[in-house]
Structure 1
Amino acid sequence: MRSLRPAAVLVSIAVALAVPGVAQADDIRDGQWHLTSLDLPAAHEISTGDGIVVGLIDSGVDAQHPDLVSAVTAGKALSGSFDPLTDSTGTGTAVASILAGRGHGEAGADGVLGVAPGATVMSVSVADTAIGGGQYIAEAVKFLTDSGVDVIALTAKHSFNEPTQDGIRAAAQASIPVVVPAGSVEGGNYSEVVTAIAVDAQEQHLEGTTPAAGAQYSVAAPAQDIPAAAPGEQYASVSGTAAAAAIIAGTLALIKSSQPGLAGPALIQYLLSEGTKPVPPGQEELLGQGLVDPLAALSTGGGPENPGSTDEEATDGALSAGASGGSPDPLLIAGIALAGLLSQVALVGYARLAGRRKVA
């Protein structure tokens, strides 16, 4: 297998660690500790995010990376004549791979596997967020809303601005949840967004990253030394709240694919109530409203073929299929027939009795 060149990627406000140059692609997969901690192999048996489009606002995505082939579509390039399917800094490629990486090699067993490998990322590149007082970020949110994506991951670092807040409100009205990394918005917090908090492998607040204080909705996710794709067929180990945002946006994609009827605020509330586990007591100001739990979210809501089925629907299905798992039960059929015959006998007897009384 080919050797990998080291790459350093800055994700949100945290430090990225370079992968050793002698690493192999399967070592990358082995290093994805969060796949195990989040029970993602079991979650992927229920949902992979198939059919879901996640809009990503960042530096662009290297769509030619082996782990992102066919996983990324072009959205729009803003604040410069840049291709959204190339990456100027590496942050967009890292986020996209953690979110929806598909790996490569036989059966996709090598490289980065994303939280929602069946989802598609629509890339909107914003090369310089300082230009125009945030107008390009607002334009990116509007573009993705108008494009009808299912989830928006706003991971580009920028300054708070009212046009973007207005765009986020419009996205909420269009039933599109927006995920933002904690600490990526300077000068304020947007409302109606899910704020991503970073934790380490021990589920403790990741030192050096921004806590959850002041966020309307906030969820914590693994974000320390996460293997990720980097431009030029490279890999990097990244840490920070943008990595957490990728995992949370991917979890929303898994839920949405499994339960298409959930959207917008309802999807966010479902994530908070069914797709998280409680944070340690007294840690709410640091870790928010819960630690993300994709498998719990999918196990609660039912599979993609029968999302949220009621007890009555399940009973009806059992009666129609019978005890044999698809073929009618002969004993059940005989019982129904006997009950019908007895009902007819009773009706005939009653009619005769009524007739005698009338004659008398």
Structure 2
Amino acid sequence: MTRATARFRRTASSLLAITLAGVSLASGLVLAPAAQADDVRDKQYWLDESGITKAWDVSKGAGVKVAVIDSGVDAGHPDLKGAVTGGYDASGAGTANGQKTLGVKPEHGTLVATMLAGRGHQTLTPTPTPGATPSPATSPSAVGPDGIVGVAPEAEILSVSTWLGSANPAGKSDQDQIPEAVRWAVDNGAGVINISLGSTTPQWPQSWDAAFLYAEQKDVVIVAAAGNRVGGNLQVGAPATIPGVLTVAGLDRKGVASVDSSSQGISIGVAAPAENLQGGLPGGGYAEWAGTSGAAPIVAGVAALVRSKWPAMSAKQVINRIVSTARDAGPAGKDPLYGYGVLNAEGALKDSVPETAVNPLGSIADWIRVHRRGNLATPAPLPSADVASAVPTLPDPTVPAVVPPSQRDSAISAAVVIGSALLFVVIIAVAAFQLRRAAKDPRLARDDPDTGALDTADSQGQHS
């Protein structure tokens, strides 16, 4: 690899890593002054307005694991008691069980997790007597009267920590961390993955292909934030542009596409509240914030409700159910501001929705087949000596990101090309021979004065 190539790879990786954290930085975080648990529950307007409280009549997300790929989650927050059941450090920087907070905005992952699966402040009760019927307060499904209650308060959280937005002490870039995080989440039972991170470019590294393909093969729903205009995201950026991902746009308090806390693009699937949001902070605090980083876990929570209600339902059916029941907004039909419309959680859990054979938001497998094929002959660049590369920690995907054509395909293609070339040469030679004969014998041809075409004579000397 040339020095110029190495420099380009480092630059591209750095730019993507910085913009990935940009969504977090631009999420409009506003720290609430001395917020108390009993102050925030009434401010969770989206629970009623998005139909979530009515959807709880059907499901609260029990039995579903939701992976939060973010800056880490404070599992000790009072509203997350018992909710975080596993974790992993994809950054390589040494977090314990993926639950420490990391990155430029370490509180970001905790905000996301509480909105997704917060359980409120639990009421402490004595340990029940063996054999006695447990009280609601000691039941796993109990939700405290104060604090943040998530969209899926009975779901489990898998915290997958990343280090984005500043120099990673472990030397692992986003090109290494994101696919490793996705694969770990899939392998550890996540039925839904929430990615409240994004970039200002619609392209993603080819190193991400296999991981998102793996998630698609394993029937996992991936929900991603569309990005925010205030952070420079005028258009949706990766990974929210990856086919098959349920991309979430943001709404303001009036239910209209947010000017600052959203972006636009053809990959948007649905829109959800993104302003005046409430979430938990490490150490038991709370904050008001804004951005599609907060809209995404609302939708991911609804996906968990659906998967809990219908455990056998495929990921594409879950996504189709959410987008099909959304309330149309903006121009009629799907549009780049609202996607299929505004989230309707009650409809997603209660409406009758016809089955679909395909994911309405596309397939990464189909995209790879079409768009990566031209790069098959280009070997992957080797890492330079001064840039650390991720050490593989997970097995290879069951299907590679791109599959080169077989030798038989190559042989057939070569034969077709050679045969076409020989046929062309034969045609030219025959034409030249006929022209020479015509020039020597006027009886074989005459020049048509009207068209300039050469008329050939039949065996009787007649012209056609």
Cα distance, 1:226 vs. partner? 0.8
Residues 12 and 181, structure 1, Cα contact 8 Å, conserved in 2: no
CA distance in structure 2 between the aligned counterparts of 1:191 and 1:150, rounded to whole angstroms: 18
**TM-score, with structure 2 as normaliser:** 0.59
Q: How does 1:345-356 map to 2 (within 5 A)?
A: none
CA distance in structure 1 between the aligned counterparts of 2:158 and 2:211, rounded to whole angstroms: 17
CA distance in structure 2 between the aligned counterparts of 1:295 and 1:72, rounded to whole angstroms: 26
Say whether 1:279 aligns with 2:329.
yes
- Identify unmatched segments of 5+ residues in structure 1: 1-9, 303-307, 309-360
Q: Which has the higher strand share?
A: 1
Determine which of 20, 23, 47 is the counterpart of 2:33: 20
Q: How does 1:50-61 map to 2 (within 5 A)?
A: 50-61=62-73
**Cα deviations by residue, 1:274-327 (Å, 9 ceiling, x for unpaired):** 3x111232682211111111111111259xxxxx9xxxxxxxxxxxxxxxxxxx
Partner residue, 1:69: 81
Partner residue, 1:45: 57
**Cα deviations by residue, 1:234-269 (Å, 9 ceiling, x for unpaired):** 101111011111001000000111111212212111
- With over 3 angstroms needed to count, the CA separation of the structure-2 counterparts of 1:266 and 1:187, relative to structure 1, is closer
Cα distance, 1:148 vs. partner? 2.4
Residues 164 and 174, structure 2, Cα contact 8 Å, conserved in 1: no
**Cα deviations by residue, 1:126-150 (Å, 9 ceiling, x for unpaired):** 0236743521111101111122210
SS at structure 1 position matched to 2:114: helix
SS at structure 2 position matched to 1:245: helix
Determine which of 119, 137, 153 is the counterpart of 2:155: 119
**Cα deviations by residue, 1:187-213 (Å, 9 ceiling, x for unpaired):** 672121011101012111112234331
CA distance in structure 2 between the aligned counterparts of 1:39 and 1:296, rounded to whole angstroms: 8
Partner residue, 1:90: 107
Cα distance, 1:157 vs. partner? 3.9
The aligned amino acid for 1:116 is A
Counting matched residue pairs gives 291
Residues 59 and 156, structure 1, Cα contact 8 Å, conserved in 2: no
Calculate the aligned-residue CA RMSD, in Å: 2.3
- With over 3 angstroms needed to count, the CA separation of the structure-2 counterparts of 1:133 and 1:201, relative to structure 1, is closer
SS at structure 2 position matched to 1:284: coil
CA distance in structure 1 between the aligned counterparts of 2:242 and 2:248, rounded to whole angstroms: 12
**TM-score, with structure 1 as normaliser:** 0.75
Partner residue, 1:288: 339
Residues 246 and 269, structure 2, Cα contact 8 Å, conserved in 1: yes
SS at structure 2 position matched to 1:271: helix
131-140 vs 50-59, which moves further: 131-140
CA distance in structure 2 between the aligned counterparts of 1:237 and 1:204, rounded to whole angstroms: 19
Say whether 1:190 aligns with 2:242.
yes
SS at structure 1 position matched to 2:160: strand
Partner residue, 1:134: 175
Cα distance, 1:186 vs. partner? 4.8
CA distance in structure 2 between the aligned counterparts of 1:269 and 1:105, rounded to whole angstroms: 35
**Cα deviations by residue, 1:149-194 (Å, 9 ceiling, x for unpaired):** 1011122345732222321122111110111101287567212101
Residues 14 and 208, structure 1, Cα contact 8 Å, conserved in 2: no
CA distance in structure 1 between the aligned counterparts of 2:87 and 2:74, rounded to whole angstroms: 13
CA distance in structure 1 between the aligned counterparts of 2:155 and 2:174, rounded to whole angstroms: 32
Residues 196 and 220, structure 1, Cα contact 8 Å, conserved in 2: yes
Cα distance, 1:270 vs. partner? 1.7
CA distance in structure 2 between the aligned counterparts of 1:96 and 1:12, rounded to whole angstroms: 17
Partner residue, 1:99: 116
The aligned amino acid for 1:173 is Q
79-88 vs 58-67, which moves further: 79-88
Partner residue, 2:209: 165
Partner residue, 2:278: 227
- With over 3 angstroms needed to count, the CA separation of the structure-2 counterparts of 1:281 and 1:64, relative to structure 1, is same
CA distance in structure 2 between the aligned counterparts of 1:67 and 1:164, rounded to whole angstroms: 33
CA distance in structure 1 between the aligned counterparts of 2:31 and 2:225, rounded to whole angstroms: 22
CA distance in structure 2 between the aligned counterparts of 1:192 and 1:166, rounded to whole angstroms: 14
Consecutive aligned runs of 4 or more in structure 1 exceeding 6 Å deviation: none
Q: Which has the higher helix share?
A: 1
The aligned amino acid for 1:13 is A
The aligned amino acid for 1:277 is R
SS at structure 1 position matched to 2:99: coil
Identity of aligned residues (%): 33
Residues 67 and 112, structure 1, Cα contact 8 Å, conserved in 2: yes
- Identify unmatched segments of 5+ residues in structure 2: 1-22, 124-142, 167-171, 229-235, 356-464
- With over 3 angstroms needed to count, the CA separation of the structure-2 counterparts of 1:90 and 1:239, relative to structure 1, is same
